[in-house]
Structure 1
Amino acid sequence: MDARMWRLPPELRSGLEGPEYVQVEGHAHEYRGMLQVKVERLRVLDSSEVSEEDYVPATEKDRRALAAELELAGEGIENPHLFELFALMVSDAEFWEAFCTAPAAKAMHHARIGGLLEHAVHCLRLARSLAELYPADRDLLLFGAIFHDVGKIRELSWGRGGFAYTTQGRLLGHVVLGERIVAGYIDRLPGFPEELAMHISHVLLSHQGEVEYGSPERPKTLEALLVHFIDNLDARAAMFLETTRNVSPGGWSHHENPLNRALYLPETSGDAVET
């Protein structure tokens, strides 16, 4: 919405250093067919007066419960080295807070506060099922499913009323950043097996699947292949659900969406049971 203030306070005449939240009082009117606000009073708000989640999308799920589910999964890891690595990462309060708060994307899927956490939990649940079907290293598969997108905490910023790419996110991307984050924790663990570290790096670096989608390598182990498809499945299912959220049963979405096609929401049968 456009807004105009004709008598700007002296402290604002030189502009602001960056985006800020402000409290505005004024009158709305129509100007050339558009709604416009004539601002009478404007005050820059202190950060203590603002809750970011009031102004950006946030998961509706209980983030504490989601984080607890991941922490419990980490406690169940049998490989002593992966167990120690998981525990070290979760015990880093600053890292874990960022992981549990970050969006999973700027716009494509799970683009909301807590979106990365939500995506990680969904991928964990899928990985558990696939671990029962295929002869994969279960601990490595679960670790990769949870932390494959960990680089998003550095690729994206989520303050000041919106999501944006950081400079390092634009230059390096979350795939490389994620591998560096995990490798940094591995370096703090004396005696961590080099081969296991290599397999972790491969899972992280290949999870996008193809070079054109940002992966330096294509998946070449069973665990890497499964993590790629788990990530892809949850991301695309989320794209469908988010695109059709306001579509009535029996209706179609607009074709301009992350899946680049009109999406159909079937009418539910009368005997369908909500779970």
Structure 2
Amino acid sequence: MPNEPAIVELHTLASGEEGDFFALLSDKQEQLTKDGKPYWRVTFRDARREVSFPIWSDAPLADACRDNWSAGGFYKLRALYRETNYGPQLDIRLIRPVEEADADDGFSPQKCLPSSRFDAAQMHADLVALAEEAVDPPPLKRLVLALLDEHRDELLLWPAAVRNHHAFAGGYLEHVRNVARHAHYLATQYAQLYPDMAPPLDVGAAVAGAILHDIGKLRELSASPAGAEYTPEGSLIGHILQGRDIVREAAARQAADGEPVPAESLLRVEHIIVSHQRLPEWGSPKPPMTPEALIVHYADDCDAKYQMMLAVLADDPTPGPMTGRRNVLGQAVFRGEGN
């Protein structure tokens, strides 16, 4: 690209503005028009904007799109950004794959990927600190800390889902840290309010279960530049049963080392994992049947729904005080008067 202007970011372009930017080709699908003619629907994105649009079979870039563009690849584009009645569009002038030298112009894969607003290493450290503080008895604490340490590298990058909530790099840690903190607060408050409950509320098990409730997503999902996808195990088994498997396997290794987790503590944590989605149609084979499981379920559900509402408020283009209804929540959200 001779005489290249300064690099901008895709999400900063206003409608009608042209610029050079780096983007991820996150999706590429061959489809058919109503007349049966093939075309490609492509999706380019950076960390804060996603643009899907067609490449028609008679367009100048059609052959290059078909033969050379690969989903999951990073590209440098010169394109005009337009907002139309059919959604955002890119009129591509020039395009090529990212090269090593583009790092000097600020290219980084992370700039093209949606990611948590929070530092992943700090979120992981916060979970470790919470486990150190709140999980009891000591063998259960060791189990939680061992799993956090064993899977640290994956957890720093993992999304919490393929879509709907926290579906971005670091989303797993953002979601789990929120759930664990909320569960710790609620469990501590209820334990203090009802000290005569028999048996007493097990704050340590609640926090351990909150930290581990989604651990099965390490086997349910595979992370890639194009976004999270379900593994075969994820599609056939899901994260709930695999989460219980991961915890049981770790507990068996720890028992072989001479520090078994007390049977009831382990049972309460396993129950939190298998019941945290509450309903069979949501994936749980059992509903919450302990106070700890009830707390974790609502902490989990609240955080997921809250993140969905944040996304609706941030992304919905409908003018006025109410958003549209075509969103992940399936309902309008009130912005406030004057919006």
TM-score w.r.t. structure 2 length?
0.66
Number of the residue aligned with 1:173: 238
Q: Give the partner amino acid of 1:159.
A: S
Alpha carbons 1:21, 1:45 under 8 Å: kept:
no
Question: What is the rounded CA distance, in whole Å, between the counterparts of 2:170 and 2:262 in structure 1?
Answer: 32
Measure how far apart 1:65 and its partner are. 1.9
Cα deviations across residues 112-144 of structure 1 (Å, max 9, x unaligned)?
111110111111221122123323211111111
Measure how far apart 1:241 and its partner are. 1.3
Of the candidates 255, 262, 265, which is equivalent to residue 196 of structure 1? 265
SS class of match (2:237): helix
Matched, 1:155 2:217: no
Question: What is the rounded CA distance, in whole Å, between the counterparts of 1:116 and 1:264 in structure 2?
Answer: 28
Matched, 1:113 2:169: yes
Question: What is the rounded CA distance, in whole Å, between the counterparts of 2:335 and 2:98 in structure 1?
Answer: 44
- Map 1:4-83; keep pairs closer than 5 Å: 4-5=60-61, 19-23=71-75, 36-37=91-92, 42-43=96-97, 51-76=108-133, 77-83=135-141
How well do the aligned residues superpose, as a CA RMSD in angstroms?
3.2
Alpha carbons 1:249, 1:266 under 8 Å: kept:
no
Pair 19,267 (structure 1): closer, same or farther in 2 beyond 3 Å:
same
SS class of match (1:111): coil
Question: What is the rounded CA distance, in whole Å, between the counterparts of 2:328 and 2:220 in structure 1?
Answer: 19
Alpha carbons 1:5, 1:38 under 8 Å: kept:
no
Alpha carbons 2:209, 2:269 under 8 Å: kept:
yes
Number of the residue aligned with 1:87: 145
Question: What is the rounded CA distance, in whole Å, between the counterparts of 1:4 and 1:183 in structure 2?
Answer: 56
Alpha carbons 2:168, 2:227 under 8 Å: kept:
no
Number of the residue aligned with 1:272: none
Q: Give the partner amino acid of 2:220.
A: E
Pair 193,132 (structure 1): closer, same or farther in 2 beyond 3 Å:
closer
Pair 86,36 (structure 1): closer, same or farther in 2 beyond 3 Å:
same
Number of the residue aligned with 2:329: 259
Matched, 1:146 2:203: no
Pair 260,24 (structure 1): closer, same or farther in 2 beyond 3 Å:
same
Alpha carbons 2:136, 2:205 under 8 Å: kept:
no
TM-score w.r.t. structure 1 length?
0.81
Alpha carbons 2:158, 2:171 under 8 Å: kept:
yes
Measure how far apart 1:25 and its partner are. 6.1
Question: What is the rounded CA distance, in whole Å, between the counterparts of 1:64 and 1:169 in structure 2?
Answer: 26
Question: What is the rounded CA distance, in whole Å, between the counterparts of 1:215 and 1:6 in structure 2?
Answer: 46
For the pair shown, which has the larger CA radius of gyration, 1 or 2?
2
Q: Give the partner amino acid of 2:145.
A: A
Percentage of identical aligned residues = 31
- Map 1:213-232; keep pairs closer than 5 Å: 213-232=282-301
Question: What is the rounded CA distance, in whole Å, between the counterparts of 2:80 and 2:60 in structure 1?
Answer: 10
Question: What is the rounded CA distance, in whole Å, between the counterparts of 2:294 and 2:183 in structure 1?
Answer: 11
5+ residue gaps in structure 2?
1-52, 192-200
Q: Give the partner amino acid of 2:156.
A: C
Number of the residue aligned with 1:239: 308
Question: What is the rounded CA distance, in whole Å, between the counterparts of 2:155 and 2:62 in structure 1?
Answer: 43
Pair 88,24 (structure 1): closer, same or farther in 2 beyond 3 Å:
closer
Cα deviations across residues 41-72 of structure 1 (Å, max 9, x unaligned)?
744768x9774422221011122221111111
Question: What is the rounded CA distance, in whole Å, between the counterparts of 2:337 and 2:120 in structure 1?
Answer: 32
Number of the residue aligned with 2:247: 182
Cα deviations across residues 162-209 of structure 1 (Å, max 9, x unaligned)?
222222111111111211111121111113333322222111001000
Pair 201,27 (structure 1): closer, same or farther in 2 beyond 3 Å:
closer
Number of the residue aligned with 1:273: none
Deviates more, 1:202-211 or 1:150-159: 150-159
Aligned residues: 257
